[in-house]
Chains A and B, each alone.
Chain A
Amino acid sequence: MHEHDVIVVGAGGAGLRAAIAAQEAGADAAIVSKLHPVRSHTGAAEGGINAALREADSWEDHAYDTMKGSDYLGDAPAVEALCKGSPEEVITLEHWGMPFSREEDGRVSQRPFGGLSFPRTTYAGAETGHQMLHAMYEQVVKRGITVYDEWHVMDLAVTDEEDPEDRTCYGVVAYDIASGEISGFRANDGVILATGGMGQVYDHTTNAVANTGDGVAMAYRAGVPMEDMEFIQFHPTTLPSTGVLISEGVRGEGGILYNAEGERFMFEHGYANNAGELASRDVVSRAELTEVNEGRGIEDEYVHLDMRHLGEERIIDRLENILHLAEDFEGADGLTEPMPVKPGQHYGMGGVETNEHGETCISGLYAVGECACASVHGANRLGGNALPELIVFGKRAGRHAAGDDLGEAEIPTGKTGEYEMADYEFETELGELGGTSPAAADGGAVVTDPETVLSAAVQRAEAYVEELMDRRGRNHAEIRSAVQKTMTQHVNVFREEPGLKQALEDIQEAREAYKDVAVSDPSRTYNTDLIHTMETRNLLDIAEALTMGALARKEFRGAHWRKENQIRDDEEWLKHTMVSWNDGEPELWYKPVILEGENKTYEPKVRSY
């Protein structure tokens, strides 16, 4: 067993920042991560970090833009914490040596980004995330913070009181990928989840293979609700074979979208007569899919993004990295042919419910970064707002876990504030089907001794692995791919009732199949078959909760579009979707959005630009 004051799960931008903050606040912090830190997907971010750094800008303007972008589903206390904290955090990164792009006078550059009223996006070339991740990992090395890398966290050690709000988290259980050893990690002061996105719920995504939403699923099964999971941002220009993102820059420079008939469909089919290719991400994504669905796609799958008319000179000057991406990952030469593109899952706005300090309703358990939902992005994330979230909330949670006083939080967690139960009847059976649950409550007397809670969790994990290894049965890959397919088909940018219901049925079928899942690689050494099998279980829980929210929410808000009601319905739906595991019988409920900020209330306005 290992023991530290603060255990951080995950080593992307959010986890690294949390560990550094906890250590600076005097705690012995350690990081447990299934990937070595520099392999984390934060490295893939290209665009930039929003921060109101300049005289002419203000955190208030940033907060206003963010609330508007969120389609009024962001919680003002979290949004304001983000916007107030970001400038200091960005400057801290600069002081840690991060090589930002610079102005003539040597100060860090900022550029305009969609949905922002001021050019406040700080960046480092087209590799902002890479530079940010490495600058922070360097600080972790400098400070000698312990990193357990290639340890896959399987479960949380949480007490099992009836109400999740009464439970406490005492640590985590992790599996050493290299050796197959299972070990408990006792956290004296807190566990911080920073496990990143869940893009692998879809079969086409800009997210990494490791982005399987583990933290969200673990917290969920331990009793923390998932919040606003149905809000998924899709990016309209990703390469069909891998999901690699082709940035908006191509369209910004004048790139044109064509269908199989050579029509400039954004105009010719009237999707966006003014903005054309520059319409918002969701509009362009829906337009592309409509083209494909109506038979005007290329190979029934994608459309073309053409930049040849910009000329070789300009392309090489401004979009050289795009040429490399298209060539390396799609085998397409952007100078001589149009590039194939289609919409892909990009970002999950929802996640583990937290308050503005990163705390969940389980005491001692925190979540930060893409896996968390504070919520700063609400129904739609503005480009450049995820990276500042990592550093602002990473730091807040790290400090709080280490005992720093951040004041009283304003956002209630769990069922401690105002809430209402959903009156939606799901036709499909949901949740656990009597399969193996690493976090299944056993119904006995409540155990509260930390050591006992942790060792029980270790034993459960050992039994689970043993069972998966011993059993004969199906491979996880087909189950994973079935879930990904149905999600991509039915829970994408187009959502309508029959499809969503179908998806829930398919997920249930996949759960059924998962009951016979088995690992065929008998080795304890670097068994990725086993790791992927464990991840697949997490994908099932997430896909289900996400689809439940999408089915119940009959309105069009931010990234969530429903055919049956294509308008934003503030009367009925100005509220957060919550899904609780409820010991295996998922339940849907809602809590109000907080629109009251420090000095003002954000009145919902039409989200037009």
Chain B
Amino acid sequence: MSTQVPEQPEESTESAAETETQIPSKGDARREEKRRRAAERRAQKQAEEAERAAADEDTIELKVFRYDPEVEGKQEPRFDTFHVPFTKGMTVLDALMYARDTYDSSLTFRHSCRQAICGSDAMFVNGSQKLACKTQISELQEPIRVEPLPHAEVTKDLVIEMEHFYEQMHAVEPYFQTNELPDGELEEQRQSRENREKIKMSTRCIWCSACMSSCNIAAGDNEYLGPAAINKAYRFAMDEREGEDIKQKRLEIIEQEHGVWRCQTQFSCTEVCPKDIPLTEHIQELKREAVKNNLKFW
């Protein structure tokens, strides 16, 4: 039996609208940047591995934030130290699971897929927002500090309250709307490859909330929609299948007082997004769209 699954070639057509943003051949630049970063990381990794071997280190030290509102001794936040044997390919999530299953079964964190798709395990690792399952131990300085995402209420240990994030996501009418469905029952709406390519990155969001946690504006303004929700609005506003009237409505939503104009282009969200979504660019483009549509300023 042939189980061959030919991979679809990378769809790299740049859309006209994207060129309008005056960042020429962004795809190439991004790939170039990726290659460069990969090379850098390789070099760094090799150096680190050599260092590690020299020091004959085979365990790693984790300092993990602990808190439980109910349990005596854990009501005051503290850090616990765990020593975990290092194995090649080990991620922060692997290390946490090892610590939990071996030393302390009350160590609590969300996780499920272990492959950066369920968005459960965004944490604050050595001072930046990371998906634990997608972060190689070998790339981190020791001791590794693992904390819950900042700017959110902590439920317990590394688990944060997600309700606020979900509310913001729901606030932008995060669902496809169109008045232009084809008549034939088995007929799809047409969408150009260019348009699909344009929204592609925006559809990759896994609702991990790392971006929201990294954003200074969101920290100061609890009602700010935040990068992920605005990106969700972008995903629909730019989808040509929705039609102009609905796009108008979408721009009104993101233009509200706590919408796009709050963003001060600090790029912190873009830097932490584990799905490489160009969040800041998307926000900027929506601002331009809003201006173009002559909607009122706040």
List residues of A whose CB falls within 8 A of some B CB: 35-36, 38-41, 43-44, 47, 53, 87-88, 91, 94-97, 99-109, 111-115, 123, 125-127, 130-131, 134-135, 138-139, 141-142, 178, 208-210, 239-244, 247-249, 251-253, 275, 278-281, 283, 316-320, 325, 327-333, 335-336, 383, 475-477, 481, 519-529, 607-609
Contacts of A139 in B (CB 8 A): 175
**A35-B112, A101-B11, A114-B5 given; A523·B118 CB < 8 A:** no
List residues of B whose CB falls within 8 A of some A CB: 1-11, 31, 35, 38, 42, 45, 68-71, 74, 87-91, 94, 100-102, 105-106, 108-120, 133-134, 136, 138, 155-157, 159, 162, 166, 170, 173-176, 178, 181, 185-193, 196, 199-200, 203-204, 206-207, 236, 239, 241-242
Contacts of A317 in B (CB 8 A): 9-10
A130 nearest CB neighbor, chain B only: B117
The answer to whether B7 touches A126 (Cβ under 8 A) is yes
**A318-B9, A523-B106, A608-B1 given; A328·B116 CB < 8 A:** yes
The answer to whether A97 touches B175 (Cβ under 8 A) is yes
Apart from A39-B118, A99-B199, A522-B71: 16 A-B pairs, beta carbons within 8 A: A35-B120, A88-B185, A99-B200, A100-B196, A109-B8, A114-B4, A208-B112, A242-B115, A251-B4, A253-B7, A329-B133, A331-B136, A336-B42, A521-B106, A523-B71, A526-B157
Instruction: From A97, A125, A131, give the contact of B239 (CB < 8 A).
Output: A97
Distance A108 CA – B193 CA, assembled complex (angstroms):
10
Closest 4 CB pairs of A and B: A97-B176, A106-B190, A114-B3, A521-B106
The answer to whether A43 touches B117 (Cβ under 8 A) is yes
Contacts of A134 in B (CB 8 A): 203
A-B contact pairs, 24 of them (CB 8 A): A35-B112, A40-B118, A44-B113, A88-B185, A94-B188, A97-B176, A99-B203, A99-B239, A111-B8, A125-B11, A134-B203, A142-B175, A208-B112, A240-B89, A242-B89, A242-B133, A278-B2, A280-B3, A281-B3, A328-B134, A524-B70, A529-B105, A609-B1, A609-B2
**A91-B186, A99-B203 given; A208·B193 CB < 8 A:** no
**A99-B203, A208-B113 given; A36·B162 CB < 8 A:** yes
Instruction: From A44, A53, A327, give the contact of B186 (CB < 8 A).
Output: A53
Distance A440 CA – B170 CA, assembled complex (angstroms):
42
B31 nearest CB neighbor, chain A only: A316
Instruction: From A131, A239, A253, give the contact of B203 (CB < 8 A).
Output: A131
The answer to whether B174 touches A333 (Cβ under 8 A) is no
Contacts of B239 in A (CB 8 A): 97, 99
Instruction: From A328, A524, A526, A528, give the contact of B136 (CB < 8 A).
Output: A328
The answer to whether A41 touches B7 (Cβ under 8 A) is no
Contacts of B110 in A (CB 8 A): 39
The answer to whether B5 touches A526 (Cβ under 8 A) is no
Contacts of A241 in B (CB 8 A): 87-90, 94
Contacts of B91 in A (CB 8 A): 242, 328-329
The answer to whether A38 touches B118 (Cβ under 8 A) is yes
The answer to whether A278 touches B3 (Cβ under 8 A) is yes
Task: Name the distance in Å between B133's Cβ and chain A's nearest Cβ.
Answer: 7
Contacts of B166 in A (CB 8 A): 36
The answer to whether B174 touches A138 (Cβ under 8 A) is yes
The answer to whether A125 touches B120 (Cβ under 8 A) is no
**A331-B88, A331-B89 given; A607·B5 CB < 8 A:** no
The answer to whether A102 touches B114 (Cβ under 8 A) is no
Instruction: From A38, A125, A138, give the contact of B175 (CB < 8 A).
Output: A138
A119 nearest CB neighbor, chain B only: B6
Contacts of B88 in A (CB 8 A): 241, 330-331
Task: Name the distance in Å between B146's Cβ and chain A's nearest Cβ.
Answer: 16
Most chain-B Cβ atoms within 10 A of its Cβ — which of A39, A91, A111, A333?
A: A39
Task: Name the distance in Å between A211's Cβ and chain B's nearest Cβ.
Answer: 8
Task: Name the distance in Å between B72's Cβ and chain A's nearest Cβ.
Answer: 9
Distance A138 CA – B68 CA, assembled complex (angstroms):
33
Distance A91 CA – B166 CA, assembled complex (angstroms):
28
Contacts of B170 in A (CB 8 A): 141
Distance A131 CA – B111 CA, assembled complex (angstroms):
20
**A44-B115, A125-B11, A524-B70 given; A38·B206 CB < 8 A:** yes
**A331-B89, A475-B105 given; A39·B120 CB < 8 A:** yes
The answer to whether A115 touches B207 (Cβ under 8 A) is no
Distance A318 CA – B196 CA, assembled complex (angstroms):
18
Instruction: From A275, A319, A327, A526, give the contact of B159 (CB < 8 A).
Output: A526
Contacts of B5 in A (CB 8 A): 47, 111, 113-114, 247-249, 252, 383
B91 nearest CB neighbor, chain A only: A329
Distance A9 CA – B156 CA, assembled complex (angstroms):
25
Distance A609 CA – B94 CA, assembled complex (angstroms):
40
Distance A161 CA – B3 CA, assembled complex (angstroms):
47
B111 nearest CB neighbor, chain A only: A209
Most chain-A Cβ atoms within 10 A of its Cβ — which of B3, B106, B170?
A: B3
Contacts of A130 in B (CB 8 A): 117, 204, 206
The answer to whether B206 touches A106 (Cβ under 8 A) is no
Distance A138 CA – B134 CA, assembled complex (angstroms):
26
Contacts of A281 in B (CB 8 A): 3
Contacts of A330 in B (CB 8 A): 88-89
A51 nearest CB neighbor, chain B only: B186
